[in-house]
Chain A
Amino acid sequence: MENRPGKRKQMIVLVLIAAILIISALTLGCAEKKEEAKEPIKIGVLAPMTGAPARAGNAMAKAAEMAEEDINAKGGLLGRPVEIIVYDTEDKPETGKLVAERAILQDGVVALAGIFRSEVSMVVAEVAAENKVPLVIGTAQTPKLSKLVEEDYEKYKYVFRATTNATILGNQLTNFIMDYLAPKYGVKKVAFLTEDVLWARGLTAIETKRLESKGFEVKSWLIPLGVTDIPEMKEMEAWGADVIFPVFSSDNGYLVTRLYTEQKIDAILLGVNNPIASPEAWEKTEGRAEFETTGFAAPVIKYPVTDEVVPWTEKYVSKYGVEGINQAADTYEALQVIFQAIEKAGTTDADKLVQVMEENEFNVLRGKVKFSKKNHDHMAWLGPPYKVDSPLGGLVGQWQKVDGTPKIVVVWPQPIGNPDDWKPAPWITIPRP
């Protein structure tokens, strides 16, 4: 028994070899980074495929798939095929950082696009800056991102944002209240019903200031995430609200619509309610969305802001359905910017791409994108033909039944929409006392 060290040694050697094999297999992934002529140009899209915003993330991934097909159908870029890889950020910063590093260091992408959550976008911006890879953000909206570029240009010059924030939409909605509803129906009191998330609180603060400066009476109610009932709406009615202004992006927005219609709240329901901004909202709410006014994105209502947007929407919807189409369009546009920049630059060199992106305008789905040289934000305030749609839409529309079929009627801004098409719900006291 004592004299069998040979077998033991064999065992040790075997285990050692196994360990070495495993480690070298792990290394293999990083080792293959060959540059060949026909090697595809790789671009990474970061999207939250899991976690709370998975609904947006799935749409972003599908848009990436579609963008890849479209560009390769046109023969790719610089004579090379394009490969778009989607990475799941799991809606968490450390995973966002990890997958961004995976994309850059292991898969060798030449640019990154996408990103939903603002916290993740800040972390990924750091990774992009450190590794000098252009990043075109499609959805995240925090103003802190453009501050980064403004304050430390040399480091963060790789970060761009091809979208605009929801304030544009908020302004349209409050303009509609101030310029049309107030003179016509005597609207004076606005109640904000705000979901307790960053962008919604920000939008509420900005619009409150705007409305108050015009002499409106404003009060806001903050709704925590994860409620089953919103008794606040009754309270708003008691306060005498003329307009209830929801600021919702989660599925709890269905609850707002439901409670409003069921309780026949005596106030106009007008605001940002993202679930209702989907073409399927009528079906999903069984028609309760009727008379609700909210912001819609051009692809959703197939409004031809450009020639491209309607055919694109039809193609996308027939392939993947309409869920999260705004975020899909945002991601598609960010990728279009990257494609065009690579084509114009004639190379995938990062610094050259940054220069091209700063100096040019890009034709994307919903208009032109032009980046500010100072903070690399898309300058949506230039107005059409530049892109004005935010991830939550840019046009004010109302769900109505026209000749028995549900329809989204665009009422604002003029002259795209006609405000006189707007109808108050039948249970509302008109004109306002």
Chain B
Amino acid sequence: MKKMWNHSVLILAILILLIYAVYPVVTGDSYLIRVFILIHIFAILAASMDIIVGYTGQLTAGHTAIWGWGAFFGAWSIVYLNIPPVLAIIIGGVVGALLGLGIGILCLRFRYLLLTLVTFAILILSYALARQFASITGGELGIHGIPVLSTNRIIVFYISLFVLIATIVSLKLIGRSEIGMRMRAIKDNEEGAKVLGVDVVKYKVMASVIGSFFAGVAGGLYTTYMGSVGASIFFLDHLLRLILMWGIGGGGTIIGPALGAYVVILLGEYLRFIEEYRLILLGIALIVILRVFPAGVYGVLEKILSYPKRLRGDHK
């Protein structure tokens, strides 16, 4: 019975995904598709942050910095090396992974608050550098006129959706594997994990590299979708929104933060009429969710879907 239920949930999920996937073909090019493309980019970013924050328990504030540099390197590789935009996404990812390696090693000696503060400083320094070296970063004006993935938004929709699904699937697979288990052990109790023979250094750096790779990919996508990138990518606002997505969606589940991106951006779109109060509302929502349902929107959905099962008591 449990298996059957699991199957039906899976089928349901696939059905919803299918509807979502054929949606742009049915409606054609529309505004909503562009919203979804942006959501895909942020969902990749939020999901990749989860492997560092939700799995390994390192609250990094530098994730948008890596995203930003991924976008810049993607842009440079297109502008200076004339590579096709699709490859720029991968270059963004590689740059992200390298930065993740550096930051991961640098941050090995920090835990908890210090880690957050160091990565926060890295974000601020990134903004200062991007503004300062205007000859290559374009400074405040940014780089414009970068060739885009495709002028057909439906194609971009599918590429970004594909990358998002690939990100979620690979992160989920990593999370379920032994690697993910060891990462969780580090989060729960680092000393304890060490005693049990978990190579803490290796797994912490690994989480940073994996998460940063996908952040860089999101950066490459951003650049090739927007056709531009500028110092504003390092704004603190991006980080705060990312944290809203992560927390509201439900950290530690990979899919949760990605769902959070949908919730935060769509609510932002549909609550446009309350203007400034949107973010205040989202802030309150985040605090309430963290305090009352720490598992976030994903956790709540999971509970609802498993409700009939528990009602019948066959969860045993």
A and B touch in the complex (CB under 8 A): yes
Chain A residues in the interface with B (C-beta under 8 A): 1-2, 4-5, 7-8, 11-12, 15-16, 19-20, 23, 26-27, 29-30, 49-51, 88, 90-94, 97-98, 101-102, 105-106, 117-119, 122-123, 126, 130, 142, 144, 196-198
* Contact across chains for A49 and B32 when beta carbons are under 8 A apart: no
- Chain A residues with Cβ below 8 Å from B4 are 5, 8
| Given contact pairs A19-B15, A27-B30, A105-B34, a sample of 6 additional A-B residue pairs in the complex whose CB atoms are under 8 Å apart | A23-B23, A93-B228, A101-B31, A106-B30, A119-B232, A126-B228
Set B16, B131, B141, B237: member contacting A51, Cβ < 8 A: B237
- Chain B residues with Cβ below 8 Å from A106 are 30-32
B312 adjacent to chain A (CB < 8 Å): yes
Q: A2-B1, A50-B276, A122-B144 are in contact. Are A92 and B237 (CB under 8 A)?
A: yes
- Chain B residues with Cβ below 8 Å from A23 are 19-20, 23
Return 21 A-B CB contacts under 8 Å, by A number: A1-B314, A8-B8, A16-B12, A19-B19, A27-B30, A27-B32, A51-B235, A88-B272, A90-B237, A91-B232, A91-B235, A93-B142, A93-B228, A101-B34, A105-B31, A118-B140, A119-B230, A119-B232, A122-B228, A144-B141, A196-B131
Q: List the A residue with the shortest CB-CB distance to B140.
A: A198
B178 adjacent to chain A (CB < 8 Å): no
CA distance A93 to B27 in the complex (A): 26
* Contact across chains for B1 and A98 when beta carbons are under 8 A apart: no
Set B11, B32, B227: member contacting A29, Cβ < 8 A: B32
Q: Which of B1-24 contact A (CB under 8 A)?
A: 1, 4-5, 8, 11-12, 15-16, 19-20, 23
* Contact across chains for A11 and B19 when beta carbons are under 8 A apart: no
- Chain B residues with Cβ below 8 Å from A8 are 4-5, 8, 308
A117–chain B nearest beta-carbon distance, Å: 8
- Chain B residues with Cβ below 8 Å from A197 are 140
B35 adjacent to chain A (CB < 8 Å): yes
* Contact across chains for B38 and A130 when beta carbons are under 8 A apart: no
Q: List the B residue with the shortest CB-CB distance to A152.
A: B145
- Chain A residues with Cβ below 8 Å from B15 are 16, 19
- Chain A residues with Cβ below 8 Å from B11 are 12
- Chain B residues with Cβ below 8 Å from A50 are 276, 279
Q: A50-B276, A198-B141 are in contact. Are A93 and B230 (CB under 8 A)?
A: yes
Q: List the A residue with the shortest CB-CB distance to B15.
A: A16
CA distance A51 to B237 in the complex (A): 8
CA distance A357 to B190 in the complex (A): 67
* Contact across chains for B12 and A12 when beta carbons are under 8 A apart: yes
Among B4, B31, B35, B272, max chain A CB count under 10 A is at B31
A395–chain B nearest beta-carbon distance, Å: 27
B55 adjacent to chain A (CB < 8 Å): no
Q: List the A residue with the shortest CB-CB distance to B144.
A: A122
- Chain B residues with Cβ below 8 Å from A90 are 237
* Contact across chains for B226 and A123 when beta carbons are under 8 A apart: yes
A87–chain B nearest beta-carbon distance, Å: 8
B177 adjacent to chain A (CB < 8 Å): no
CA distance A130 to B151 in the complex (A): 9
* Contact across chains for A1 and B312 when beta carbons are under 8 A apart: yes
Q: Which of B69-126 contact A (CB under 8 A)?
A: none
- Chain B residues with Cβ below 8 Å from A101 are 31, 34
B298 adjacent to chain A (CB < 8 Å): no
- Chain A residues with Cβ below 8 Å from B279 are 50
CA distance A130 to B144 in the complex (A): 15
- Chain B residues with Cβ below 8 Å from A7 are 308
CA distance A5 to B8 in the complex (A): 11
Number of chain B interface residues as a range: 35 or more
Q: List the B residue with the shortest CB-CB distance to A121.
A: B141
* Contact across chains for A119 and B12 when beta carbons are under 8 A apart: no
Set A15, A26, A119: member contacting B142, Cβ < 8 A: A119
* Contact across chains for A198 and B232 when beta carbons are under 8 A apart: no
A43–chain B nearest beta-carbon distance, Å: 17
* Contact across chains for A26 and B32 when beta carbons are under 8 A apart: yes
B280–chain A nearest beta-carbon distance, Å: 11
- Chain A residues with Cβ below 8 Å from B275 are 49, 88
* Contact across chains for A93 and B5 when beta carbons are under 8 A apart: no
B214 adjacent to chain A (CB < 8 Å): no
B157 adjacent to chain A (CB < 8 Å): no
A56–chain B nearest beta-carbon distance, Å: 15
- Chain B residues with Cβ below 8 Å from A15 are 12, 305
- Chain B residues with Cβ below 8 Å from A94 are 38, 222, 226
CA distance A95 to B222 in the complex (A): 12
* Contact across chains for A11 and B308 when beta carbons are under 8 A apart: yes
Q: List the A residue with the shortest CB-CB distance to B228.
A: A123
B127–chain A nearest beta-carbon distance, Å: 10
B218–chain A nearest beta-carbon distance, Å: 12
B271–chain A nearest beta-carbon distance, Å: 12
B120–chain A nearest beta-carbon distance, Å: 15
- Chain A residues with Cβ below 8 Å from B35 are 98
B139 adjacent to chain A (CB < 8 Å): yes
* Contact across chains for A119 and B38 when beta carbons are under 8 A apart: no
- Chain B residues with Cβ below 8 Å from A119 are 140-142, 228, 230, 232
CA distance A142 to B134 in the complex (A): 14
- Chain B residues with Cβ below 8 Å from A27 are 23, 27, 30, 32
CA distance A92 to B238 in the complex (A): 9
- Chain A residues with Cβ below 8 Å from B232 are 91-93, 117, 119
A374–chain B nearest beta-carbon distance, Å: 19
- 10 shortest interchain CB distances as A-B pairs: A105-B31, A106-B31, A198-B140, A119-B230, A30-B30, A122-B144, A119-B142, A19-B16, A101-B34, A118-B141
- Chain B residues with Cβ below 8 Å from A88 are 272, 275
* Contact across chains for A98 and B230 when beta carbons are under 8 A apart: no
A199–chain B nearest beta-carbon distance, Å: 9
Set B31, B141, B144, B308: member contacting A126, Cβ < 8 A: B144
Q: List the A residue with the shortest CB-CB distance to B26.
A: A27
* Contact across chains for B139 and A198 when beta carbons are under 8 A apart: yes
Q: A20-B19, A49-B276, A92-B232 are in contact. Are A12 and B227 (CB under 8 A)?
A: no
CA distance A234 to B230 in the complex (A): 35
- Chain A residues with Cβ below 8 Å from B308 are 7-8, 11
- Chain B residues with Cβ below 8 Å from A196 are 131
B132–chain A nearest beta-carbon distance, Å: 9
- Chain A residues with Cβ below 8 Å from B228 are 93, 119, 122-123, 126
Set A11, A19, A142: member contacting B141, Cβ < 8 A: A142
- Chain A residues with Cβ below 8 Å from B272 are 88
Q: A2-B1, A142-B141 are in contact. Are A102 and B19 (CB under 8 A)?
A: no
Q: List the B residue with the shortest CB-CB distance to A88.
A: B275
- Chain B residues with Cβ below 8 Å from A118 are 140-141
